[in-house]
Amino acid sequence: MSPLPGEGRREPPLTARRPGGAGAEPISLQRIELRVLALPMRQPFETSFGVAREKRFLLVSIHADGLTGHGECVADHHPGYLPETIGTAAHVLRDYLAPLAFAAPFATPQELVARLRPVRGHEMAKAALEMAAWDLCARRAGVSLATFLGGTRSRIAAGVSIGLQRDDAALVDKVAEELAAGYHRVKVKIKPGRDQGALRALRHHFPDLHVVADANSAYTLEDADHLARLDTFAPAMLEQPLGWDDVLDHAVLAKRLRTPICLDESLRCVERVRQAIDIGAAAVVNLKPGRVGGLVESVKIHDLCVARGVPLWCGGMVESGLGRTANVHLQSLPGFDPGDTSDPRRYFDEDLVEPPVVVAKDGFIDVPQGPGLGVELITSRLERATQSREALVP
């Protein structure tokens, strides 16, 4: 595939402003490995779009010069959050992204990202390959991913996303438990019929609680009057109430609410984020590297939000410790409010990495200092979790 004409539109490379590994010897990939992994979950995670009882995901590992880099793909086995799935990600990685990555050496992750641009969409597949490239490049340079990204924080404030509970009393108990664990921010899931009561109960028990309500696209503009009544309970923000790909209706809804709107699903590139801010659809931005095609795009979105004074926080996709760790490195950039980075042990008895991601009693997570992601996969656990694997070569 030859580069598209639009390539000339490229912005100044991040390497102009951030370390990123400019000047390094180019990397020639020797092998890319795709594995489908399954981790049992300790508790189901329920949202307006479904219940997850098991975590299945694709692990992308790249090999070059005796080094390995790993990337966790956030696509689910089901297209209930966004259209990508494990199956589409494996297909696009195998048939389109891997050949582009093998086609020529690349010196920086930014160079690889530019090469993947002819493939439209498939942000989660691209992000996984890109994360592996960041891990490998940073390892080779002997610096942490945080340093490579230009991060300055050595610890980040953890927050927690709480799935739909059996009833409002159970939700109140759960929130109390998570606050006791030290989390700096609480988010709860809502859906029609499970919104007013939940927010009323939370406000009653926790008068000063900063609580985010995430609807995962469970409403339409016809629910505007109903959603406006949630203002009474003063949630800190309402996350993605309307269509998963919508920004226009969110701008209309925003005018009818006091509660600020935060967008998640709809924001899949920096241009979309800018447009959403410009038309008043997003007062707050949830940034997930996997949803926007990776860390290069994430840094652009971070920089835009900081420049525009728009609050920004890092979301989660129920990642294993590997993906969580990448989110921790990203949040070492100044400007992130506490988001959805909670302890992976809330979900998994046996996480895959060492050292594990740990939320300290004061609700902070240390940014790993070792090279790359700064964590290692535990081979025995990786093998146990592996459902299938395939190797791709040039």
CB of 214 to ligand OSB, least distance (A): 5
Q: Of ligand OSB, Mg ion, none, which one does residue 165 interact with (CB within 5 to 8 Å by kind)?
A: none
CB of 79 to Mg ion, least distance (A): 16
- CB-nearer residue toward ligand OSB: 128 or 137: 128
Q: According to the binding rule CB under 6 A, does residue 348 interact with ligand OSB?
A: no
Q: Which of 174, 187, 191, 288 is catalytic?
A: 288
Q: Which of 189, 191, 300, 361 is catalytic?
A: 189
Among 68, 110, 161, 298, binds ligand OSB (CB under 6 A): 161
Q: Of ligand OSB, Mg ion, none, which one does residue 340 interact with (CB within 5 to 8 Å by kind)?
A: ligand OSB
CB 89 within 8 A of CB 122: yes
Q: According to the binding rule CB under 6 A, does residue 264 interact with ligand OSB?
A: yes
Is residue 335 left, alpha or beta, with left meaning phi > 0 and alpha meaning psi from -120 to 50?
A: left
Footprint on residues 203-232 left by Mg ion (CB under 5 A)? 214
Footprint on residues 195-214 left by ligand OSB (CB under 6 A)? 214
When CB distances to Mg ion are compared, the closest residue is 264
Our answer to whether residue 189 is catalytic in this structure is yes
Our answer to whether residue 191 is catalytic in this structure is no
SS (H, E, C) the chain: CCCCHHHHHCCCCHHHCCCCCCCCCCECCCEEEEEEEEEEEEEEEEECCEEEEEEEEEEEEEEECCEEEEEECCCECCCCCCCCEHHHHHHHHHHHHHHHHHCCCECCHHHHHHHHCCCCCCHHHHHHHHHHHHHHHHHHHCCEHHHHHCCCCCEEECCEEECCCCCHHHHHHHHHHHHHCCCCCEEEECCCCCCHHHHHHHHHHCCCCCEEEECCCCCCHHHHHHHHHHHHHCCCEEECCCCCCCCHHHHHHHCCCCCCEEECCCCCCHHHHHHHHHCCCCCEEEECHHHCCCHHHHHHHHHHHHHHCCCEEECCCCCCHHHHHHHHHHCCCCCEECCCCCCHHHCCCCCCEECCCCCCCCCEEECCCCCECCCEECHHHHHHHEEEEEEECC
CA-to-CA distance for 277 and 311, rounded, in angstroms? Answer: 11
CB of 76 to ligand OSB, least distance (A): 7
- CB-nearer residue toward ligand OSB: 122 or 185: 185
Stretch that binds ligand OSB, among 3-11, 18-26, 149-157, 311-319 (CB under 6 A): 311-319
Binding mask 71-110 for ligand OSB (x = CB under 6 A): ----------x-----------------------------
Among 68, 165, 216, 217, binds ligand OSB (CB under 6 A): 216
- CB-nearer residue toward Mg ion: 264 or 343: 264
- CB-nearer residue toward ligand OSB: 43 or 152: 43
Q: According to the binding rule CB under 6 A, does residue 375 interact with ligand OSB?
A: no
Q: According to the binding rule CB under 6 A, does residue 317 interact with ligand OSB?
A: yes
Q: Which whole-number Å values give the CA distances from 106 to 68, 204, 338, in the listed order?
A: 15, 56, 34
Q: What tokens were used for 98?
A: 């891997």
Among 46, 84, 264, 351, binds Mg ion (CB under 5 A): 264
- CB-nearer residue toward ligand OSB: 15 or 220: 220
CB of 169 to ligand OSB, least distance (A): 21
Q: Of ligand OSB, Mg ion, none, which one does residue 343 interact with (CB within 5 to 8 Å by kind)?
A: none
Amino acid in the structure at residue 216:
N
Q: Of Mg ion, ligand OSB, none, which one does residue 48 interact with (CB within 5 to 8 Å by kind)?
A: none
CB of 357 to ligand OSB, least distance (A): 11
- CB-nearer residue toward ligand OSB: 56 or 63: 56
Cβ-in-10-Å burial (0-12, 13-18, 19+) of 315 comes to buried
Residues forming the site for ligand OSB (CB under 6 A): 81, 161, 214, 216, 264, 315-318, 340, 342
Q: What is the set of active-site residues?
A: 189, 288
